[in-house]
Chains A and B, each alone.
Chain A
Amino acid sequence: DTAVSQTPKYLVTQMGNDKSIKCEQNLGHDTMYWYKQDSKKFLKIMFSYNNKELIINETVPNRFSPKSPDKAHLNLHINSLELGDSAVYFCASSQDLPGVRDTQYFGPGTRLTVL
């Protein structure tokens, strides 16, 4: 059983396109996250939702829009893709609010390449 799953695993697309990445967790956790890890391997949080409420909204272009239809799902939609959006995007979940002594469980990542 996969705890945190993401689809697709690989995404290759042209500049200017719009794409979505989906994430689902079956752990019953209340909090979900989107991270971006660029080519320099620096992992940066983008968004976090707790019970479908946005609680972390870091400075990212408004071309990125998260959506949480329920607490088990957190999707990421990206409009007008740019070359600099190429990265690995990780979804994660945790039982509690961010930073509480609590493990984050990560999905396998979505490797996005913008051509």
Chain B
Amino acid sequence: RKEVEQDPGPFNVPEGATVAFNCTYSNSASQSFFWYRQDCRKEPKLLMSVYSSGNEDGRFTAQLNRASQYISLLIRDSKLSDSATYLCVVSVMDSNYQLIWGAGTKLIIKP
């Protein structure tokens, strides 16, 4: 089992719809969680950190489920500009530092 898994997609979603995707992680000692967004042929950029209590930033909501070991990202009222690959990142700090990236979920918003 991969340490961090994401459905690669693509998710083809009409503009204005709500879309959600998950990211599962295998290490129960994982401590910090993030969602990054990467546009085609560009660098990744932080979308949001994921807190235990869940957090919301405009149309984006991120949640953490430690019991089932996954994080989720919900996008409401999707825009064409939301088309991108969404990468989850999990950090583990035990005797070593580990930053583990998922392979990304590709989202395509259609007009």
Binding site for B on A (CB under 8 A): 33, 40-45, 48, 55-56, 90, 97-101, 103-104, 106-109
Contact = CB atoms under 8 A, between A and B. Distances in A.
Given A43-B87, A101-B32, 5 more contacts: A48-B99, A56-B99, A97-B97, A99-B93, A109-B43
Contact of A41 (B32, B85, B92): B85
Mostly, the A contact residues are loop
Nearest to B100: A45
Interface in B76-111: 85, 87, 91-93, 96-99, 101, 103-104
B26 to A, nearest CB: 16
A98 B101 contact: no
B22 interface: no
Mostly, the B contact residues are strand
A44 B87 CA distance: 12
14 contacts: A41-B103, A42-B101, A42-B103, A43-B38, A43-B44, A97-B93, A99-B91, A99-B93, A99-B98, A101-B32, A101-B49, A104-B46, A106-B44, A109-B43
Interface residues of B, number: 22
B12 interface: no
B59 to A, nearest CB: 20
A29 B91 CA distance: 19
B106 to A, nearest CB: 9
Contacts of B99: 33, 45, 48, 56, 98-99
B99 to A, nearest CB: 5
A36 B74 CA distance: 28
B18 interface: no
Contact of B97 (A44, A98, A103): A98
